[in-house]
């Protein structure tokens, strides 16, 4: 992680919006009109999927993918004008939210401004035609960062957008050279010191495939040199494997705990159950109760949680990236009050404490503990709604469940988890203990 990354990001929440599908209008104004609700949900950072013009050559669907960009410095006219975009960002800032813009620096549409004006900045096949590294991405052509003139063009583009926004979500960041990202951060943050950087990192399989073909494939550890936040894709597959019965919760939680020793001390992982590239959480969850438990899980983990538009209404349909596919009517419940409560808990300074422990206890319930400055918070989370009594060292008595504000009783060294999370904050002795000698 970048050395100056602030761990306060672990106390915040990201909300993701695809302008085209957010409202019936499908434009900037449709988002601007709803910003108060987004803020009231508890949003700190509003992430907008790409807002640039979309290429027409090899276009997927009727409207095309927002990740097949024609002009990095332009506005998609379907969304409105630059003034409309500025009205959106200005209103978000008035409400106390930061705005994070999605940038796509690995590739452009085949008919992009850069492909027309600087075809030498792209990869070419044996016949001299523009090409790409990933076969399924037929609507784009890949940029070649061996051309350093490209670097400054891209950085100047970031400097242009930084007058409106507060950070960048960087699409398929592992495919772009680390030295470029380091230079981009250096120049942008020199002028806009508070700029946030989120890398769409990748799972190990994708990285291994890239490297096997001789391409750049940055690991999370490499990305953390330039970025504040990375995706949770290094373990997201294991989470789905657990839910679908292909693996155990013990393996998944062990991998999560290993993150804490693998990455820098100020690392921030973006925790999610769904995003625009993956199926809705309700494709895995079987009920609102399970959704509640797993939303609690991503908020209680070390990192910054993501809510994708519609998730707060238990949306079931994964909207298309290529066509008009409005999310407005896809509502099967409302967990807004839960998210607001979780945001309040997430804001506790204790949730960025250095002492963070994960364990699997009775019946596969996941236990999370944070400790710092004479206090602790422990959460017992039944991901699949388990009901059981769990052992605890808490003194006998009545404690407040922070999630429900109701009482939880500890009797004879046990408390009951009744299918719902139990979150307890309590006073503890956090005196420093000696580190065990592991040299033998």
pLDDT value for 3: 80
Confidence of residue 440 (pLDDT cuts 50, 70, 90): very low
Read off the pLDDT of residues 104-147 as tens digits, 9 standing for 90 and up.
Answer: 999 999 999 999 999 999 999 999 999 988 777 899 999 999 99
- Write out pLDDT tens, residues 64-98: 999 999 999 999 999 999 999 999 999 999 999 99
Task: Measure CA 190 to chain center.
Answer: 25
β-pair partners for 99:
46
Question: Given this model, what pLDDT does residue 372 score?
Answer: 94
Structure tokens of 89? Answer: 């960002």
Is the separation of the CB atoms in 29 and 108 below 8 Å? no
Dump pLDDT digits (tens) for 326-365.
988 899 999 999 999 999 999 999 999 999 999 999 999 9
Q: For residue 137, what pLDDT is reported? A: 87
Q: Is the pLDDT of residue 431 over 80?
A: no
Q: Which domains does the chain have, with CATH numbers?
A: 8-347 (3.20.20.80), 356-427 (2.60.40.1180)
What is the pairing mode between strands 141-142 and 107-108?
antiparallel
DSSP letter for 199, please.
Answer: E
For residue 322, CA distances in Å to 60, 66, 287 come to 6, 8, 29
pLDDT digits (tens, 9 = 90+) for 220-236: 999 999 999 999 999 99
In angstroms, the CA 123 to CA 319 distance is 31
Beta strands 98-103 and 387-391, pairing class: unpaired
The model's pTM:
0.96
Residues 6+ apart with CB under 8 A from 433: none
| Closest among 237, 73, 255 to 164, alpha carbons compared | 73
What is the radius of gyration, based on Cα positions, of the chain? Answer: 23
Burial class, 116, CB count within 10 angstroms (exposed 0-12 / middle 13-18 / buried 19+):
exposed
Instruction: Report the pLDDT value the prediction gives residue 435, as an integer from 0 to 100.
Output: 43
In the predicted model, is pLDDT for residue 433 greater than 80? no
Alpha helix locations (H) across 95-168?
Answer: 113-117, 148-161
Cβ contact 382:293 at 8 Å? yes
436 has a pLDDT exceeding 50: no
């Amino acid at each position: 992680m970048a050395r100056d990354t602030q761990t306060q990001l672990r106390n915040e929440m990201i909300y993701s919006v695809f302008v085209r599908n957010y409202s019936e209008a499908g434009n900037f104004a449709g988002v601007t009109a709803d910003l108060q609700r987004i803020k009231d949900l508890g949003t700190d950072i509003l992430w907008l999927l790409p807002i640039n013009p979309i290429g027409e050559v090899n276009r997927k669907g009727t409207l095309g993918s927002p990740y097949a960009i024609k002009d990095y410095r332009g506005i998609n006219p379907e969304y409105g004008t630059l003034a409309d975009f500025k009205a959106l960002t200005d209103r978000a800032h008035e409400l106390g939210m930061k705005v994070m813009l999605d940038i796509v620096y690995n590739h452009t549409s085949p008919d992009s401004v850069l492909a027309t004006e600087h075809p030498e900045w792209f990869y070419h096949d044996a016949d001299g035609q523009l090409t790409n590294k990933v076969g399924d991405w037929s609507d784009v052509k890949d940029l070649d960062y061996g051309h350093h003139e490209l670097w400054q063009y891209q950085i100047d583009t970031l400097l242009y957008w930084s007058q409106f926004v507060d950070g960048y979500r960087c699409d398929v960041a592992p495919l772009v050279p680390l030295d470029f990202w380091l230079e981009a951060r250096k120049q942008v943050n020199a002028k806009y010191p508070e700029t946030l950087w989120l890398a769409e990192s990748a799972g190990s399989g994708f990285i291994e495939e890239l490297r096997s073909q001789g391409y750049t494939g940055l690991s999370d550890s490499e990305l953390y040199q330039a970025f504040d936040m990375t995706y949770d894709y290094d373990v997201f597959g294991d989470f789905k494997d657990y839910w679908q019965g292909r693996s155990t919760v013990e393996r998944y939680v062990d991998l999560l705990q290993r993150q804490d020793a693998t990455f820098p001390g100020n690392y921030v992982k973006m925790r999610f159950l769904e995003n625009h590239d993956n199926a809705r959480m309700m494709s895995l969850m079987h009920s609102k109760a399970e959704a509640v438990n797993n939303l609690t899980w991503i908020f209680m983990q070390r990192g910054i949680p993501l809510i994708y538009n519609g998730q707060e209404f238990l949306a079931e349909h994964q909207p298309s990236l290529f066509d008009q596919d409005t999310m407005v009517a896809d509502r099967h419940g409302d967990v807004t009050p839960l998210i607001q409560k979780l945001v309040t808990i997430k804001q506790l300074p204790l949730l960025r404490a250095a002492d963070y422990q994960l364990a699997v206890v009775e019946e596969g319930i996941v236990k999370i503990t944070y400790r710092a400055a004479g206090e602790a918070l422990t959460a017992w989370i039944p991901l699949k709604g388990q009901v059981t009594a769990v052992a605890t060292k808490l003194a006998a008595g009545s404690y407040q469940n922070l999630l429900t504000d109701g009482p939880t009783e500890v009797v004879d060294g046990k408390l009951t988890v009744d299918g719902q999370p139990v979150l307890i904050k309590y006073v503890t002795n956090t005196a420093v203990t000696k580190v065990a000698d592991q040299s033998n």
